[in-house]
Amino acid sequence: MVIEQIYTGCLAQGAYYIHSNGEAAIIDPLREVSPYLKRAENDNVKIKYIFETHFHADFVSGHLNLAEQTGATIVYGPLADPSYDAHIATDGEVFSIGNIKIKVLHTPGHTIECATFLLIDEDGKEHAIFTGDTLFLGDVGRPDLSQKSASITKEDLAGMAYDSLRNKIMPLHDDIIVYPAHGAGSACGKNMMKETVDTLGNQKKVNYALRADMTKEEFIKEVTDGLLPPPAYFPANVKLNKEGYDNTEKVMSTGLRALSPKEFEVVVESADALMLDVRTQQEYASGHIPQSIFIGLNGSFAPWVGELVVDVYKPIVLIVEAGKEEEAVTRLSRVGFDNVLGYLDGGMEAWKKEGRETDSVDSIVATELETIKKESETKIFDVRRNSEYTAEHIDTATNTPLSTLSDHLSEYPKEDPFYIHCVSGYRSMIAASILKSRGYHNLINVSDGYNGIKKTGIPMTEFVCPSTKK
């Protein structure tokens, strides 16, 4: 028996490849399925089942592509209602893969169709659980993402999660290995650990949601308290996972169309396409196409596209570093953005060579901001999350979180210069690109962000340790 966790850091997502005696199963695969196919080919095994723990909201699963190419059966837990052929398992149903078995445990809570898959090894021992979003390390899945019925509240789902954990998971023995669908950085929970594998026994000790003395009322309050609004693209991803999507090959062939500067311009105008610049923030700052939006591949690219672009059907054209075109289209497809119409052939060099208009972003480092702040009044905007700002910030800074930047536009001055920062310069450059596209050209970005600011003498508020539930 082999269990491999295939972890994708950008999405903080774990898929699983399991094989035994010539047969394999994939749990919660990503959109691009070639890694699973190559593993199965190298191991000389047949992919028999594709297990889905639920209808994912934060990424588009590869279940349909994988089933089409392998003939494997897609398996969901009870109450799932996909629009395509799939086996809807009963609670307690058992599936054989070689010499091992997978038992379905219906664990509603994150969503009502959520299932946990219990792996029973060759010796008949309960070895591991693949918990999806039912149980994370340090947390549980948020109960406010279900698309099943408006009549089911997040409190209802939180109550179901309490019962699922205590009736289906906590009675299992402590040395069972926990393999969750997500780790720290995912928007599907709020208190996840950085580790991606643990034992159930340790989770019973450290995970606030598994406290033996916790009442259902306490659990519901803990799990529903402090939930931020989910990213706006989540419902579209649930719909794609539930109803189907275009074949990845079609998405890639369209997205990887090289466009001359003239063709690029025509596509932007005719399709009302978003110009998405995915290079580094330094490259974007030094020269970019006016009205283009920066979201760099070197950060949490796909989640930020989903958070800020929202409309997964929006036509997109790319400004991308040579050789990174396929990566960009692939990572967009992971979160359902399939309508990429091509990329600028030759990049910014080709654009400049034709004498076309460019723009830039004024940037300084934190030590320069310190000098400027001493000499004159400065307006400083902090685009980090509210929790980061609350923990510690420049004493005169205003918090305008990137995720809700459009709600704060009236707070930015139209003419006087102002300064923006995040932690390292990535999010603030995204903010700068959005602000410039809205006509705010009087901004200056602090390129080294709060990491640099902390090393200066700029007055800060007193640090407040963010509360955690351990």
Report pLDDT digits (tens) over 251-300: 999 999 999 999 999 999 999 999 999 999 999 999 999 999 999 999 88
Judge contact between 54 and 75, C-beta under 8 A.
Answer: no
For residues 413 and 379, the answer to whether their CB atoms sit within 8 Å is: yes
Query: Minimal CA–CA distance to 50: which of 20, 17, 80?
Result: 17
Structure tokens at 307: 């958070």
Mean of pLDDT over the chain: 94
Q: Which domains does the chain have, with CATH numbers?
A: 2-236 (3.60.15.10), 246-353 (3.40.250.10), 363-453 (3.40.250.10)
| Structure confidence at residue 227 as a pLDDT band (50, 70, 90) | confident
Rounded-to-integer distance, Cα 42 and Cα 39, Å: 5
As a whole-number percent, the residues of the chain with pLDDT over 90 amount to 87
The 10s digit of each residue's pLDDT in 358-377 is 999 999 999 999 999 998 88
| 8 A C-beta contact, residue 375 and residue 449 | no
How far from 74 is each of 8, 84, 190, 237, 355, CA to CA, in Å?
22, 10, 29, 18, 53
Asked if residues 461 and 393 have their Cβ atoms less than 8 Å apart, the reply is yes
Assign 128 to helix, strand or coil: strand
Reply yes or no on whether the pLDDT at 190 is more than 50. yes
Q: Is the pLDDT of residue 150 over 50?
A: yes
3-state helix vs strand vs coil in the chain, percent to 5: 35, 20, 45
Q: Note whether 132 and 57 are within 8 A (CB).
A: no
Question: How close are the terminal C-alpha atoms of the chain, in Å?
Answer: 34
Whether the predicted pLDDT of 84 surpasses 80: yes
Edge-to-edge strand ranges of the sheet holding 94-97: 94-97, 100-106, 115-120, 126-132, 177-180, 198-199
Tell me phi and psi for residue 204, to 5 degrees: -65, -25
Exposure class string for 284-296: b at 16+ Cβ within 10 A, else e: bbeebbeebbbbb
Between CA 78 and CA 64 the distance in angstroms is 19
Q: Give the pLDDT of residue 468.
A: 44
Indicate the pTM of the whole model: 0.89
Beta strand ranges found along 148-253 (DSSP E): 177-180, 198-199
